[in-house]
Structure 1
Amino acid sequence: MSVRQLKDVAFIDLEASGLSARSWPIEVGWCFAGGSPKAMLIHPDEAWSLDDWNPAAEALHGIAYDDLMKEGVAADKVCERLNNALAGKLVFSDAPDWDGFWLYRLFQAAKKRQRFIVSDFSSIFRSAPPEDVDRYIAEAERVAPRTHRAIPDVLHMRALYELASPGL
């Protein structure tokens, strides 16, 4: 894979207020196969209810509602930055259904059109023998453990991608 192609492969992860049908995104992170990770806390939109804030989710990701109110970026600015970074790229998520749902909520709140498609990260491993996948997962957990925060989780995906795609 060429350097140009590496720049076209990205990984995205979202953290959320919970796992309900009305949950909303609170953090988004992304990185490219050959680049530095980026992340943004998301300021709660007025259409999102605090009733959908789950204390168990907060305990898992460690992001407090007050942090979002103080440090979060407005949905329209987050969407603009995501579109600018990811439009035309091959974007992978390890939870495309949930991340796709939260991206939908984010772009809906911003009244903007999402200009990138999120693909299932597991598709990278479809032709790999299961024992290789197990080895990749163990090694990626060692070098880039998942923490339920956006940057560590995209770095974990990138580590898995690099292990599964030797010679990049």
Structure 2
Amino acid sequence: MIVFLDFEASSLGKHSYPVEIAWVFEDGRSRSLLIRPAANWTDWSSDAERIHGISRELLARQGVSVAFVVKEMMMALSGHDLYASSPSWDGKWLSVLLRAGGIPRHALRVRKSDDLFIEVAKAIFEEAGMADTDVPALVDDVIAQSEPATSAHRALPDSLLELERFRLVREAAKKRVSPQGK
């Protein structure tokens, strides 16, 4: 099954680490966890904190251990197709989290959501004999139109946005194939 995931992090620095993870399955099931930093995770950016609103104090009070998060992730996400809007960053934090939990960093892999959106729309157009349709333009348009007025910058809303975009791309492609909704 398709799963969209997202992280919030301590910073965008080289030694950054995840402070929140959320995922949402294609069927709408979701999970969000604050992550209590491992002892050797010390990088912190007050700019990042201002953006996502997650403080060190909140992580100390409500965050769960890395071991718990990794165990839950592996049970819930293994064998599924994982996607993120920014796999270079999200993949980095996924690797940091997995390694800290004693799991090989490639036990879970994440791909770019936009690539999935393009694949889904292409399949719809090809089935309808419209393979020459400009699919990347359609996907870019859906993403631009679905950009929230204000961004929550939290992992669960960002994951839910990717799921919504997936649905919107599918709907837009189907509508273009059959404009009258036949």
TM-score by structure 2 length?
0.79
3-state secondary structure, aligned to 2:3: strand
Per the alignment, residue 59 of structure 1 pairs with 50
Q: Is the 8 A contact 1:13 1:153 kept in 2?
A: yes
* Deviant stretches of 4+, over 2 Å: 112-116, 124-135, 138-142
Unpaired stretches in structure 2, ≥5 consecutive residues? 123-133, 175-182
Q: Is the 8 A contact 1:15 1:26 kept in 2?
A: yes
Q: Is the 8 A contact 1:76 1:112 kept in 2?
A: no
Per the alignment, residue 152 of structure 1 pairs with 157
Query: Displacement of 1:63 after TM fit?
Result: 0.6
Shift in CA distance, 100/131, structure 1 to aligned 2, threshold 3 Å: closer
1:35 corresponds to 2:28 = yes
TM-score by structure 1 length?
0.85
Structure-2 separation of matches of 1:30 and 1:64 = 21
Per the alignment, residue 113 of structure 2 pairs with 121
Per the alignment, residue 129 of structure 2 pairs with none
Per the alignment, residue 161 of structure 1 pairs with 166
Structure-2 separation of matches of 1:80 and 1:146 = 30
Structure-1 separation of matches of 2:150 and 2:28 = 18
Structure-1 separation of matches of 2:94 and 2:108 = 10
Unpaired stretches in structure 1, ≥5 consecutive residues? 1-7
Query: Displacement of 1:160 after TM fit?
Result: 0.5
Within the candidate set 99, 105, 110, 2:90 is matched to 99
RMSD of aligned residue pairs (Cα, Å):
1.9
Matched-pair identity in %: 34
3-state secondary structure, aligned to 1:162: helix
Q: Which has the larger radius of gyration?
A: 2
The superposition leaves residues 77-106 of structure 1 with CA deviations (integer Å, 9 ceiling, x where unpaired) of 101111111101011011111111111111
Q: Is the 8 A contact 2:35 2:69 kept in 1?
A: yes
Q: Is the 8 A contact 1:24 1:102 kept in 2?
A: yes
The one-letter code sitting in structure 1 at the alignment partner of 2:98 is: F
Q: Is the 8 A contact 1:44 1:68 kept in 2?
A: yes
- The count of corresponding residues between Structure 1 and Structure 2 is 157
Per the alignment, residue 3 of structure 1 pairs with none
Structure-2 separation of matches of 1:105 and 1:20 = 13
Structure-2 separation of matches of 1:100 and 1:47 = 20
